[in-house]
Amino acid sequence: MEFYYKILENNKEWVTKKLEEDPNFFKRLENGQKPPLLWIGCADSRVPANQIIGADPGEVFVHRNIANMVVHTDMNMLSVLDYAVNALKIQHVLVCGHYGCGGIKAAMENKSVGLIDNWIRHIKDVYKMHQAELEAIDDEKKRWDRLVELNVIEQVYDLAETSIVQNAWKSGQKLIVHGWVYGVGDGIVKDLEVDLMSNQDLDEVYRLH
Ligand code: ZN
């Protein structure tokens, strides 16, 4: 229970500190949110969205799951995306993966870890798509790193393929989907430079007219 009481105490200290810096900090947030960014990241405790990019409350709309996946039948992810794009009119959607991701590692292995096998299965599909490139990498750590990157790129495309993103583009809404990988060992973000801003970037079969 010591830890539990400590986090309640931490909250009081944080509020005091914020109010010292800016007496209207919470008052302002009470009036609503207008974040410019939707962050889709891994649930890993080492990858806290706001801290990594120096963002305050009110600046990032966040969705996290194991291995930052964009599964197009996931109602949770779709609801967050729909609200971000259609209600908040967010202009930047970012998929942020990270090196050392346990979900990605599990996808490269054959060990069953329970229910989560079914979630990891989506990452195995990414592995299969890029099998030749991945298996040409002898070093296991480098192969893991590369799958982390390829997985982010695939999730960026999966986002762009959703009806939500394509409808926004069709209506002329400005919206860019980006992909990053964060280094848990050095804190540095690598921009994968996959910046999709129209359905012209997609394979013909995925384009909605
Ligand atoms: Zn992870």
The amino acid present at 37, given as its one-letter code, is L
Whole-model pTM: value is 0.95
Q: How far is the CA of 12 from the centre of ligand 1 (A)?
A: 30
Q: How far is the CA of 110 from the centre of ligand 1 (A)?
A: 18
Domain with CATH 3.40.1050.10 in the chain: 33-206
Active centre residues (catalytic): 42, 44, 46, 98, 101
> For residues 98 and 42, is the Cβ–Cβ distance under 8 A?
yes
Please give the chain's pLDDT, 209 residues, in tens.
999 999 999 999 999 999 999 999 999 999 999 999 999 999 999 999 999 999 999 999 999 999 999 999 999 999 999 999 999 999 999 999 999 999 999 999 999 989 999 999 999 999 999 999 999 999 999 999 999 999 999 999 999 999 999 999 999 999 999 999 999 999 999 999 999 999 998 999 999 98
Residue 32 is given by DSSP the state -
- What are the structure tokens assigned to 151, written together? 């997985």
Q: How far is the CA of 70 from the centre of ligand 1 (A)?
A: 14
How far apart, in whole angstroms, are the C-alpha atoms of residue 156 and residue 139? 26
Closest CA to 156 of 82, 97, 200: 97
Q: How far is CA 92 from CA 19, 115, 160, in A?
A: 30, 32, 12
CATH of 33-206, one of 3.50.30.50, 2.60.120.10, 3.40.1050.10, 2.30.30.140: 3.40.1050.10
pLDDT of residue 42: 98
